Amino acid sequence: MIENVTPGPHGPLANVLAVRRGRGDPETGGLEHREALIYTLGKAAELEHLVMLQYLFAAFSLKQKVDEGLSTEHLAAVQRWRKTLLAISEQEMLHMALAENLLTAVGAAPRLARPNFPMPAYSYPAGVRIELVPFGEAALRHFAFLERPDGMDVEDAEGFEAIAQAVALPHDAQDEIVPQLQEFDTIGQLYRSIQAGMEHLAERLGPERLFIGPANAQATEEHFRWPELVAVTDLASARQAIDTIVEQGEGARGEWRDAHFGRLLGILDEYLEIKQADPAFEPTRPVVAANVRPQSTGIVVPLITDPGTTRCMDLLNVSYEVLLQLLSRYFAHTDETPEQLEVLANVSVGLMYTAIKTLGSVVTTLPVGPDMPGVTAGPGFELFYAVDYLLPHREAAWVLMEERLRDAAAFALRCGELCTPALMEPLARVARSLEKYADQLQAAS
């Protein structure tokens, strides 16, 4: 029998905070030391990254043509939903950049690493499960649950009927954590805790001692074209960054209808209305999240056995890996010029649209393998290396990123030659874009 168990939050985040934060005054958000703040900001950046991938997976799983069994009217609705999910995923990328700005502002390295899917149950509180789920009622309910405004009862509030049931993805009962034991219940709550901790540390250490990160390590609108992407250099700009993240997700002061939360509810309502009128309506490809290789953690995951699908998925994963290397280099650069930083930003964003988006749409049309007939592959976004393994020396880092892009471009051409004719052109486009970005890195280095 286990005795003398201390009540309160449990898990990896709680363990660190229990050691580093002292008595845990709620007015400080429980973050009484810089290390606890850095750790929590790193978890926030990781969370934004993972949530972005959830939205991308759901968007890629949607059908895109009438010959996939959609009427013209239904296709128009599906296209609207896909556009909204991609727009939300883009804002999640903005939120990740803001979280990286908050990290670098207090003297920490960027956090672009993350666990591979499927993640162990203990990675986050039970109510913040992060899984790759195809578009559908379960996914939409779960996304809305993650983005819900802090402190609002989803069963009673106006407009919340859509997520009054099945708000959380199913999970093993052994992993259940009752709400009062969770480290945070909503994304907004996590960021308000971070803000309280920053305010406390600014008062205790002094702003000039807290905000010690180099100003030129901050991502801004100058390179990434998001007006909301502010440089974090003091407490006021830190609050502004946090407000942007929270307000775009759950809504400002209860105005949630135009935020992620409200937009997701709008999609869910329309989806359920169409489904009620036409029970045969199916907007989603028969996608399952699948990996190319077994998980090193031992967690069982569907494995791709079709050779063509394996090659395309590897190409997507390598493109995604280089994108993260570019972002990591941007936030933790050494002697790059402003022009070189702009190239890093442009190539990373370009990879998202011309490689990741294209390949994500391609792989969801490809079979997992003969052992799973009729099932197509959803991108698992596998990471095979730590994204910060590059040397801190600029010349070496740029050579390796350029080389990796050229290798990926050559691989894309081989994939196109070995795949069906319908895939030759999109893969050739990916190859050309990868080669173009490699040329840009070479010219700028």
Q: Which pLDDT tens digit goes with each residue over 44-89?
A: 999 999 999 999 999 999 999 999 999 999 999 999 999 999 999 9
pLDDT digits (tens, 9 = 90+) for 338-373: 999 999 999 999 999 999 999 999 999 999 999 999
Nearest to 190 by CA among 240, 245, 141, 130: 245
Q: Which residues contact 170 (CB under 8 A, 6 or more apart)?
A: none
- For residue 18, name the pLDDT band (cuts at 50, 70, 90): very low
Torsion sign, CA atoms 403, 409, 410, 412: positive
- What span, in angstroms and rounded, lies between the C-alpha atoms of 293 and 304? 8
Q: What percent of the chain has pLDDT over 70?
A: 81
DSSP class per residue in 277-291: H-TT---B--EEEEB
Torsion sign, CA atoms 419, 423, 425, 427: negative
C-alpha dihedral over 233, 238, 244, 249, to 10 degrees?
130
pLDDT digits (tens, 9 = 90+) for 294-351: 887 778 889 999 999 999 999 999 999 999 999 999 998 989 999 999 999 999 999 9
pLDDT digits (tens, 9 = 90+) for 208-230: 999 999 988 899 999 998 999 99
Report pLDDT for 77. 97
Q: Which residues pair with 289 in a beta bridge?
A: 378
Report pLDDT for 26. 54
pLDDT digits (tens, 9 = 90+) for 148-195: 876 655 443 344 344 444 344 444 444 433 222 235 667 888 898 899
Q: Specify the residue for token string 């002697």.
A: 335
- What span, in angstroms and rounded, lies between the C-alpha atoms of 434 and 440? 10
Over residues 245-265, the mean pLDDT reads 80
- What span, in angstroms and rounded, lies between the C-alpha atoms of 163 and 140? 9
Torsion sign, CA atoms 394, 395, 396, 398: positive
In the predicted model, what is the mean pLDDT of the chain? 84
Residue 395 pLDDT > 60:
yes
DSSP conformational letter for 235: H
Over residues 141-152, the mean pLDDT reads 77
Over residues 413-432, the mean pLDDT reads 86
Residue 123 pLDDT > 80:
no
pLDDT digits (tens, 9 = 90+) for 279-296: 999 999 999 999 998 887
Tokens of 32: 């009484």
Phi and psi for 424 in degrees, rounded to 5? -60, -45
Spatial contact of 289 and 364, defined as CB atoms under 8 Å apart = no
Report pLDDT for 164. 44
Q: Specify the residue for token string 């998001």.
A: 226
Burial class (CB in 10 A: 0-12, 13-18, 19+), 138: middle
Tokens of 123: 């990675």
Spatial contact of 199 and 221, defined as CB atoms under 8 Å apart = no
- For residue 32, name the pLDDT band (cuts at 50, 70, 90): confident
Instruction: Classify 4 as helix, strand or coil.
Output: coil
Report pLDDT for 25. 55
More confident of the two residues 256 and 16: 256
- For residue 122, name the pLDDT band (cuts at 50, 70, 90): low
CB-based burial, 271-292: b 16+ in 10 Å, e otherwise:
beebeeeeeebebbbbbbbbbb
Report pLDDT for 155. 42
- What span, in angstroms and rounded, lies between the C-alpha atoms of 191 and 435? 39
Tokens of 146: 């993650």
- For residue 422, name the pLDDT band (cuts at 50, 70, 90): confident
Report pLDDT for 152. 55
Domains in the chain (CATH in brackets) are 8-285 (1.20.1260.10), 287-445 (1.20.1260.10)
Instruction: Classify 304 as helix, strand or coil.
Output: coil
- What span, in angstroms and rounded, lies between the C-alpha atoms of 65 and 2? 57
Q: How far apart are the first and last CA of the chain?
A: 63
- For residue 2, name the pLDDT band (cuts at 50, 70, 90): very low
Prediction pTM value:
0.86
More confident of the two residues 94 and 186: 94
Report pLDDT for 130. 80
Neighbours of 228 (CB within 10 A): 17
Report pLDDT for 378. 95
3-state helix, strand, coil in the chain (%, to 5): 60, 5, 35
Cis amide linkage into residue 338, ω under 30° from 0: no
User: Range with the lowest mean pLDDT among 96-105, 266-275, 414-423?
Assistant: 414-423
Q: Which residues contact 419 (CB under 8 A, 6 or more apart)?
A: 308, 311, 312, 427
